[in-house]
């Protein structure tokens, strides 16, 4: 940006003005010129900061652990949330996305996270706990936001949810596990225990099962908890539960989400109600859930990205956010198929 300065004229008090008067006017001219220069410096400094904030193109590296409905919705919501903020406040800024999906492979996570760091992106985004952890291990300097991570502190991503003190912040997808378990209890018939199936190698799932067990103990609910560690195990593990439980609970678990079609078919055939951790999982074969919308959670993260990229906030001081809203979702087709009237399913 260029500034055009007009000469500043200061009249002298007549031809016969004494030396003191002329000297005073020179001082005034010097003062005015100094003020103009200082003002110009401040303007240029301000413009420099604004130019940084209004950088024409920024690059965002996105790492997703695996492809399934919940995480895909979180990614789409992120892009929409950021774009909405840019349109409202800074429409000149353009965003270049570099998106990588590890397809559930840990070695891919390591390689891809390194690749995104080496590309010197302005911001990194980790979708789900393993992706977030992979990015955090590769850089402590590039601002990083995460979403669909159940517990950022337990995952070693932040020191505190209120003040991260690391280069990482974002949104947690911790669900109301107790209410989800109660929802299943309300739908289940008979005296058999409620079943829980999860992947014991996913930290987020372990945390949710711990919460579920505590809730069940407090409310005198019998549980039968089993674990599957690969998609090949899911069908056989579920078959071992059939006939022994009155309903099935699935936490927000990447393995379970990836296997929802199989789980849905098997559970429907056994007339088992299934309450899932996420709406997307329920859509893919569950009966119902009470939880957050991953698209909306992604939008929240996108708004945080605007604060980082444009307002120059640092993740170190940005509190971890949780979902603004929770929703009751009923898969009417599934409910009818297992003999439950959809309208009878109420918010717990």
More confident residue, 65 or 31: 65
pLDDT at 54: 52
The stretch 206-226 carries a mean pLDDT of 98
Whether the per-residue pLDDT at 51 is higher than 70: the answer is no
What are the residue boundaries of the structural domains of the chain, listed by start?
57-173+294-317, 177-291+327-344
Domains 57-173+294-317 and 177-291+327-344 share a fold: yes
Which pLDDT score, from 0 to 100, does residue 56 have?
87
Q: Is the per-residue pLDDT at 17 higher than 50? A: no
Mean pLDDT of 222-235: 95
The answer on pLDDT for 208 being more than 80 is: yes
Is a pLDDT exceeding 60 seen at residue 2?
no
pLDDT higher than threshold 80 for residue 157: yes
- What fold is seen in the domain 177-291+327-344? Rossmann fold (3.40.50)
Q: For the chain, give the percent of residues with pLDDT over 90.
A: 82
What's the confidence (pLDDT) of residue 91?
Answer: 72
The topology under which CATH files domain 57-173+294-317 is Rossmann fold (3.40.50)
Residue scoring higher pLDDT (169 or 11): 169
pLDDT 10s digits, 116-129 = 999 999 999 999 99
pLDDT tens-place string over residues 132-142: 999 999 999 99
Q: What is the pLDDT of residue 46?
A: 45
85 pLDDT band (50/70/90 cuts)? very high
Using CA atoms, how far apart are residues 345 and 206, in angstroms rounded to an integer?
27
pLDDT at residue 55, as a whole number: 60
pLDDT at 179 over 70: yes
Give pLDDT, residue 15. 33
- The mean of the pLDDT values for the chain is 88
Predicted pLDDT of residue 192: 97
pLDDT at 25 over 80: no
């Amino acid at each position: 940006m260029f500034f055009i300065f007009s000469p500043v004229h200061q009249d002298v008090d007549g031809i016969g003005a004494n030396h003191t008067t002329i000297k005073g006017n020179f001082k005034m001219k010097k003062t005015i010129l100094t003020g103009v220069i200082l003002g110009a410096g401040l303007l240029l400094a301000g413009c420099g900061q604004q130019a940084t904030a209004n950088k024409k193109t920024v690059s965002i590296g996105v790492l997703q652990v695996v492809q399934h409905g919940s995480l895909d919705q979180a990614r789409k919501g992120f892009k929409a949330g950021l774009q909405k903020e840019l349109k409202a406040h800074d429409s000149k800024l353009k965003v270049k996305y570099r998106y990588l999906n590890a397809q559930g492979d840990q070695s891919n996570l390591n390689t891809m996270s390194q690749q995104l760091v080496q590309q010197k992106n302005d911001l990194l985004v980790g979708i789900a706990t393993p992706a977030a952890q992979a990015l955090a291990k590769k850089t402590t300097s590039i601002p990083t936001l995460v979403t669909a991570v159940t517990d950022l502190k337990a995952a070693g991503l932040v020191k505190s949810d209120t003040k991260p003190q690391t280069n990482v912040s974002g949104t947690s997808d911790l669900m109301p596990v107790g209410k989800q378990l109660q929802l299943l209890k309300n739908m289940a018939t008979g005296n058999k225990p409620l079943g829980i199936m999860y992947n014991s190698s996913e930290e987020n799932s372990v945390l949710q099962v711990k919460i579920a067990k505590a809730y069940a103990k407090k409310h005198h609910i019998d549980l039968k908890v089993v674990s599957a560690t690969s998609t090949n195990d899911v069908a056989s593990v579920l078959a071992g539960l059939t006939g022994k439980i009155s309903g099935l609970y699935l936490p927000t678990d990447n393995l379970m989400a990836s296997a929802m079609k199989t789980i849905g078919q098997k559970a429907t055939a056994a007339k088992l109600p299934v309450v899932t951790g996420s709406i997307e999982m329920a859509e893919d074969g569950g009966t119902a859930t009470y939880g957050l919308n991953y698209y909306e959670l992604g939008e929240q993260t996108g708004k945080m990205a605007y604060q980082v990229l444009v307002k120059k906030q640092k993740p170190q001081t940005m509190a971890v956010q949780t979902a603004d809203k929770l929703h009751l979702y009923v898969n009417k087709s599934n409910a009818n198929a297992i003999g439950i009237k959809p309208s009878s399913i109420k918010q717990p």
